[in-house]
Amino acid sequence: MARKEISSPKELEIIPRELIISKVQEIAIEREKVGTSEVLIPQIRNLREKAINQKEHDIVIQLFQEEYLSAQHMSMEERSKGLINSNKLRAAYGPVFMNISVTGMQQYQEEHQADISPGIKARNFRFMGRFADHQHQYKKSEKLYRQGLEYFDSQTEPENRYHRLELLGFISFSLLKQGKKSEGLKLMDQVLKDYDESPEGQWLKEKDYYTWAVWKSGVEIRNSEYLIKRNASPRAKELISDAEKILVMPDGNNEKFGIRIGELDRLKTLIH
């Protein structure tokens, strides 16, 4: 009788760091396309396992962030379809995966504090804050955003400061949801102005128009929904109008903004 071979556990493939970074960049592009989340999340987890094996700690955290964004897009896409046309199961899975990714992100950061760069750690507060928003814990989310803001406000160069714009936009939303309307709208107006006029806003618009437009329109979309629900449609219409104008690439193409455009279409149905 032939002897049965006992197989040893398969070792993870070693991938050059440059290739891992390239794959992360590809994922960041693909996750902005409608309907890609279910395909991307397994790919992200597989690549993250390899990054963990190779002790690429910053990249591991970035992949937790990519998983979170992919999961969030599942919910956003279904919400844009309206209650009748949405896929309820897909909408429900989004927050489950968001929770898994933000929990994993926090645990990994705690285990590897000394090995993760300060900018990556500060950016994590953005994701923890967004999950707190999803749970309607707006006081908690504001606190988390401000923790991340401390690092980016301390930077001097635009390429190291621009993340502050996204965090300030989220803080304005948290303030509105806490009932601090005057404070929230004042901050909103300031950050929208900063996207256009501050050194970091101008730098981001020139270097990465897509991110600049997604972030700025995100402030306008989130806060306009708040305004619509409080019978402030004229101001909401102004915000929606500007969001529509900027969600077009310099070459005239708007296909990359499918998720944001879906959100705008849903908002327009709420305005009377």
Candidates 57, 37, 173; CA nearest to 107 is 57
Q: Which of 185, 172, 194 is nearest to 238 (CA)?
A: 185
Q: How crowded is residue 195: how many other Cβ atoms within 10 Å of its Cβ?
A: 25
Q: What's the pTM value of the predicted model, to 2 decimals?
A: 0.88
Within-domain flag for 49: yes
Structure tokens that stand for 4 in this block: 């049965």
pLDDT at 79: 83
Q: In this structure, is residue 86 part of a structural domain?
A: yes
Residue 170 lies in a domain: no
Q: Would you state the pLDDT for residue 1?
A: 45
Number of domains in the chain: 1
Domain assignment present for residue 164? The answer is no
Tell me if 183 is assigned to some domain. no
pLDDT value of residue 3: 43
Asked if residue 1 is part of any domain, the answer here is: no
Structural domain includes residue 122:
no
The whole-angstrom separation of Cα 67 and Cα 37 is 9
Task: Report the alpha-carbon distance of residue 244 to residue 204 in Å, rounded.
Answer: 19
Positive or negative: CA dihedral 46, 49, 51, 57: positive
Calculate the dihedral angle through the C-alpha atoms of 138, 142, 148, 149, rounding to the nearest 10 degrees: 150
Which residue matches tokens 């992949």? 63
Tokens of 15: 């991938």
- In whole angstroms, give the CA distance from residue 121 to residue 105: 10
Burial track 178-187 (b if 16+ CB lie within 10 A, e otherwise): eebeeebbeb
For residue 267, the model assigns a pLDDT of 92
pLDDT in tens, the chain (272 residues): 444 444 444 567 788 999 999 999 999 999 988 899 999 999 999 999 999 999 999 999 999 999 999 999 999 899 888 878 888 999 899 999 999 999 999 999 999 999 999 999 999 999 999 999 999 999 999 999 999 999 999 999 999 999 999 999 999 999 999 999 999 999 999 999 999 999 999 999 999 999 999 999 999 999 999 999 888 889 999 999 999 999 999 999 998 899 999 999 989 988 86
Range of the domain at 73: 15-116
Instruction: Give the chain's end-to-end CA distance (angstroms, integer).
Output: 81
* Residue 80 covered by a domain: yes
